[in-house]
Amino acid sequence: MEHITLLLAIVVVTALVFDFTNGFHDTANAMATTISTGALKPKTAVAMSAVLNLVGAFLSVEVAKTISGGIINEEGIRTEVIFAALVGAILWNLLTWLLGLPSSSSHALFGGLIGAAVMSAGWSAVNGSTIVTKVLIPAVAAPLVAGLAAMAATKLTYKIKAKPEAKATAKGYRAGQIASAGLVSLAHGTNDAQKTMGIITLALVTQGVVAPGSNPPLWVIVSAGVAIAAGTYLGGWRIIRTMGKGLTDLQPQQGFAAQTSAATVILASSHLGFSLSTTQSCSGAVMGAGLGRKGGVVRWSTATRMFVAWGLTLPAAGLVGAGAEFLTKQGPWGIAAVAVLLVSGSAVIWTLSRRKPVDHHNVTADDLDEEPAGVVTTAIAAVTPPPAAGSVAAVADEDLKTTIPAPVPTDPAAPPAPAAAV
Amino acid sequence: MKIDWAALGSVFGVSLLATVALVGLFSLGIVGLGKQEEAAANGGSATLARTGAYACFALCAAAVAYGIYLIVV
């Protein structure tokens, strides 16, 4: 390892950080429905998913030979470009996590790569048609395919009508959900950990540390597997909450149908030659299961925000990647600046997340106040009398308060009016 | 630009059929176990229901095993 330069070390660490964010961003795919229907306790669920991700990382030896699957021209790609792309992908992953939106980690990586490659070598470095076939069409097809399958399966389970009071029913759906969630976790470990191994190996190749076409060294496999497992265990609770409770309310049958549909779509698509994004398949399956139950609802406001995030993933990560590449082109100080920006950006996002933390204690709590308090929300909160408020004055604004002379001596003299809006 | 509609179509078909078949089988198995539970509570036994249920679960387990096989290979 004596040939490893500082730049290479930075890229390897950044790739592992991306792997880590990939893990905690995608825990929801496997475990959101399992957690929200109560099939597994939150901590147990993420622990199981983490172990299966780690196992998955070691299962397959076929490391991705390209990191972008032909979207950008990777011949003669410079190590700085990979670094810039990773920065874009990580920051977008963290931002969508802060907002609790499930979005594809692979698309974030593609976006970062496209941005960095364009900044580095111009538009000719990008294969436009491959973007359409590998990103755009799968992004539209995945939720449709998984959603329709989950919807049909959900309808079927309610037709078959297992007796909900029977012990076998609850236990059965619980076991079924755990099995299909396990499959999703395992598939995730093999696919996404491989991706990071591919990135690190490519960086090693471009720096001449290992020969082109060689398998990744053992330390790469181990560290990539551990990083994704650690991320998974940390649990992207915000995204789990959106997927398990935010999009729709799931009963055990629906959770089972959704998870089975997601697992089937992921496996079928990767083996029939038309790869579909895991995140989009899982979100689509959850929505399909929500629509499949009579009286089931999908919260379209949350779904719309998620669709918007999907649409923004590629350009947003691309912009950050391009900006980062612009800086790294300036020389060593630019690379240092990007590293500093990455660390401080991540710190800011983490600090913001602490203002309203979501963890394994409240991940299935019913108070879904995750909508950002926009004008409408605030206005509604202001005019709706809070049930626990003791006095009328608490909801009245300043003007109203003066017109109602209510000299109730027991009331606190001047309850701060804006408190009602919280 | 070449879009592999055939592959996309087969992904769609296979996913839909496999999901519905698996979820259906599993639900039938659960119904069978529920019947057996009920019969046991009444002092009888429902051998047919139980056997059918185990057959359903065995098929589902085979599907999971095939899934793991697909992931590993």
Q: Which of A156, A253, A268 minimises the CB distance to B15?
A: A268
Contact A24, A231 (CB under 8 A): yes
Q: What pLDDT is attached to residue A213? A: 73
Residue A320 shares a structural domain with residue A385: no
Q: Which of A21, A160, A157 is nearest to A97 (CA)?
A: A21
Q: Domain for residue A360, yes or no?
A: no
Distance CA A217, CA A205 (A): 12
Q: Cβ of B62 under 8 Å from any chain A Cβ?
A: no
Residue A297 shares a structural domain with residue A407: no
Residue in B closest to A187 by C-alpha: B71
Q: Cβ of B18 under 8 Å from any chain A Cβ?
A: yes
CB contact under 8 A, B15 and A168: no
Residue A117 shares a structural domain with residue A246: yes
CB contact under 8 A, B7 and A257: no
Q: Domain for residue A365, yes or no?
A: no
Contact A278, A239 (CB under 8 A): no
Residue A95 CB coordination number (10 Å): 20
Residue A132 shares a structural domain with residue A200: yes
Give tens-digit pLDDT for A107-123.
Answer: 899 899 999 989 988 88
Q: Which residue has the tokens 């001047």?
A: A414
Residue A13 shares a structural domain with residue A42: yes
User: ipTM of the predicted structure?
Assistant: 0.89
Q: Cβ of A163 under 8 Å from any chain B Cβ?
A: yes
Residue A236 shares a structural domain with residue A160: yes
Domain carrying residue A168: 6-354
Return per-residue pLDDT of chain A as tens, 422 residues.
Answer: 445 688 889 999 999 999 999 998 988 888 999 998 888 999 999 999 999 999 988 887 665 666 666 777 777 678 888 899 999 999 999 999 999 999 888 889 989 999 998 998 888 888 888 888 878 888 888 899 999 999 999 999 888 876 666 677 878 888 889 999 999 898 888 888 888 888 888 888 878 888 877 778 889 989 999 999 999 998 888 999 998 888 898 888 889 999 999 999 988 888 877 778 889 999 999 999 999 988 888 899 999 999 999 999 999 999 999 999 999 888 888 888 999 999 999 999 988 888 888 887 787 776 554 444 444 444 444 544 444 433 443 344 444 444 444 444 444 444 444 444 43
Q: What pLDDT is attached to residue A356? A: 83
Q: What pLDDT is attached to residue A358? A: 84
pTM of the full structure: 0.81
Q: How far is A166 from chain B (nearest CA, A)?
A: 6
Residue A49 shares a structural domain with residue A169: yes
Q: Domain for residue A289, yes or no?
A: yes
Q: What pLDDT is attached to residue A235? A: 81
Q: Domain for residue A370, yes or no?
A: no
CB contact under 8 A, B11 and A260: no
What is the domain count for chain A? Answer: 2
Residue A296 shares a structural domain with residue A379: no
Q: What pLDDT is attached to residue A96? A: 92
Q: Domain for residue A103, yes or no?
A: yes
* A72 φ, ψ (degrees, to nearest 5): -115, 160
CB contact under 8 A, B28 and A160: yes
Q: How far is A261 from chain B (nearest CA, A)?
A: 5
What stretches of A235-370 show up as alpha helix (H) in DSSP? Answer: 237-241, 252-271, 278-292, 300-328, 332-354
Distances (CA, A) of A183 to A56, A175, A265, B73: 10, 13, 11, 14
Give tens-digit pLDDT for A141-187.
Answer: 889 999 999 999 999 988 887 666 667 787 888 888 999 999 989 88
Residue A397 shares a structural domain with residue A307: no
Q: Domain for residue A175, yes or no?
A: yes
Contact A396, A417 (CB under 8 A): yes
What stretches of chain B show up as alpha helix (H) in DSSP? Answer: 5-41, 47-72
Distance CA A178, CA A422 (A): 39
Q: Domain for residue A367, yes or no?
A: no
Residue A398 shares a structural domain with residue A282: no
How confident is the prediction for chain B on average, in pLDDT? 85
Q: Which of A150, A157, A269 minimises the CB distance to B11?
A: A269
Residue A173 shares a structural domain with residue A128: yes
Q: Cβ of A272 under 8 Å from any chain B Cβ?
A: yes
Mutate to test the interface with B, among A129, A253, A267 (most CBs of B within 10 A): A267
Q: Is A72 helix (H, G, I), strand (E, B) or coil?
A: strand
Distance CA A66, CA A119 (A): 20
Distance CA A241, CA A247 (A): 9
Distances (CA, A) of B39 to B33, B42, B48: 10, 5, 11
CB contact under 8 A, B71 and A264: no
Q: Is A382 exposed, middle or buried (0-12, 13-18, 19+ CB in 10 A)?
A: middle
Q: Cβ of A383 under 8 Å from any chain B Cβ?
A: no
Residue A227 shares a structural domain with residue A115: yes
Q: Domain for residue A366, yes or no?
A: no
Q: What pLDDT is attached to residue A368? A: 54
Per CB-CB distance under 8 Å, the chain A contacts of B36 are 168
